[in-house]
Amino acid sequence: MPRSTLELRRLLHALPKVDLHRHLEGSLRLETLAEIAQEHGIDLPSYNIEQLRPYVQFTDEQPGFHRFLEKFKLLRRFYTTREAVRRVAYEAVVDAASDNVKYLELRFSPSALAHAQSFPLHEVTEWVIEAVAQAESETGVIARLLCAVVRHDSFDLARQVIEVALAYRDRGIVGVDLTGDEVHYPAAPFASLFKHAADHGLGITIHAGEAGGAENVREAVEVMHAQRIGHGIRSIEDSNVVQLLRQRGVTLEICPTSNLQTGVVDNFGLHPLRDLYVMGVNVTVNTDDPSVSDTSLTDEYMVAMMGLGVKLRDLRVCTRNSIRAAFLPPEDKQRLETLILSEFDAWL
Ligand SMILES: [Zn+2]
C-alpha cells in the first residue's frame, strides 16, 4: 500500500480506469472557453480565466442542485461553430485519456449543443462523433457515446434526440440517458421513446435518486427499464428499492464530488456508496462533470478511498462493475475486463 497521499494519488492515476458517467457539457477546459469566447465575441463577465471560473465551475459556493445546473446555462453559449463543438468533444476524450481512463462513455445532449446556433441535431452529433473518433485513434482510449434527453425537453424534441441516437448507433452511440431536473420533471412521459431505443439495441441509463428520492429510482427501473442509474444514491432511503436494484442487477453510476456540490450529501462521511456496496448493489465511481466540478477520475478515486471508506480491492470491484455494465457487446466487455483487471492487478 502507498505510504503517503502523494503516493496514493500516483498509484490511482496510473491505474487503468473506466468512466461510465461523464458529460461532455461538463468537460470544457476553461482555457478553451476563454479562447472560444474571445474568438467569437461571446459576451461574458470576463475573458480572464480566474474571473470566468466562478461562472462555469463550482467553487466554494453553497451546495445546491439548481445552483449546479445553472453553470450549464452559460456553457450552452459556447457551442458557436462546428470547430468549437469538435474541439470540446476532442479535448474531453484527450483529458480522460491523460488520466488513464481506458474506457469512456461520454454523454452529450444534442439539443444543448445545437441550441446557440440552432444547428440540426444530426450535424452536431456528427461533429461529436468525428472528434471523438479522432481522439480515440490518437490516444488509444476506447470511447463510446450516449445521447442525453433533458427532462424539460418537449416530447417531440426528445423523440428527435432518440432518433439521432438510433441513426448513429453503428458509429459509436451505444445508449441514451435522461438528465436534468428530476424534481420537477418525471421520467414517465418519455417511457415509450426509451423503450423504442432499448428495443433497437441502445443501453438505457437514467439520472434518478440524486435530487429526487428513491421512488424516482424505482420509476427509472420499472417504467424506463434502466440498466444503469445516474447517481441513484438516494436508493438507500428505501430498502425495497435497494432490493430491486440487487434483483435486477442495476448498476449505480456514482459521482461523489458532484453529490457533495449538488448538496445531495452534506459531507463525504455521510455518502452512502460504501453502504450500497456492502448491501450488494453494483456501484461504480465516475466523474459526472470534470471541469464544472474541477475533478478527474483519479480525484474521485482519491475521494472514494480517503473520504468514503473504500479500499483498493473495492475499487477493483467497482472497476469490474463498470466494465460489466458498459454498453458494449459481451465479447468486447470480456476483452476489456481481462485487459484492465490484469493491468490493475499488476499495480496491487
Ligand atoms: Zn450526470
Instruction: Write out the DSSP string of 160-215.
Output: HHHHHHHHTGGGTEEEEEEES-TTTS-SGGGHHHHHHHHHTT-EEEEEESSSS-HH
- Calculate how far, in angstroms, residue 2's C-alpha sits from the geometric centre of ligand 1: 31
Whether 237 sits among the annotated catalytic residues: the reply is: no
Predicted confidence (pLDDT) at residue 287 exceeds the cutoff of 90: yes
Predicted confidence (pLDDT) at residue 170 exceeds the cutoff of 90: yes
- Calculate how far, in angstroms, residue 287's C-alpha sits from the geometric centre of ligand 1: 8
- Calculate how far, in angstroms, residue 21's C-alpha sits from the geometric centre of ligand 1: 6
CA 68 to chain CA centroid, Å, is 15
CA torsion, ordered 303, 307, 313, 317, to nearest 10 deg:
-70
Instruction: Give the relative orientation of helices 5-14 and 297-307 as an angle to the nearest 10 degrees.
Output: 130
- Calculate how far, in angstroms, residue 325's C-alpha sits from the geometric centre of ligand 1: 16
Q: What is the pLDDT of residue 51?
A: 86
| Average pLDDT in the chain | 95
Distances (CA, A) of 168 to 97, 145, 161, 296, 340: 23, 10, 11, 28, 27
Predicted confidence (pLDDT) at residue 315 exceeds the cutoff of 70: yes
C-alpha cell at 243: 432490493
Active-site choice (25, 91, 210, 300): 210
Of the ranges 41-50, 169-178, 252-261, which one carries the lowest mean pLDDT score?
41-50
- The arithmetic mean of pLDDT across residues 301-319, rounded, is 97
Q: What is the pLDDT of residue 1?
A: 66
Task: Supply the pTM of this predicted model.
Answer: 0.97
- Render pLDDT for 11-62 as a digit per residue (tens, 0 to 9): 999 999 999 999 999 999 999 999 998 888 888 888 888 888 988 998 878 8
Asked if 187 and 152 count as a contact pair (C-beta separation under 8 A), the reply is no
Superfamily of 5-327 according to CATH = Metal-dependent hydrolases (3.20.20.140)
Q: Provide the CB-side half-sphere exposure for 61 (13 A, CA).
A: 18
Q: What is the pLDDT of residue 41?
A: 84
- Render pLDDT for 79-102 as a digit per residue (tens, 0 to 9): 999 999 999 999 999 999 999 999
- Calculate how far, in angstroms, residue 179's C-alpha sits from the geometric centre of ligand 1: 7
**Could you give phi then psi for residue 105, rounded to 5 degrees?**
-110, 110
Q: What is the pLDDT of residue 260?
A: 96
Show the CA angle centred on residue 159, arms to residues 153 and 164, nearest 5°. 110
Burial of 157 (0-12, 13-18, 19+ CB in 10 A): middle
- Calculate how far, in angstroms, residue 230's C-alpha sits from the geometric centre of ligand 1: 6
Q: Where are the alpha helices (DSSP H) in 15-48?
A: 30-40
User: So where are the chain's domains?
Assistant: 5-327
Burial profile 62-77: b = 16 or more Cβ within 10 angstroms, e = fewer: eeebeebeebbeebeb
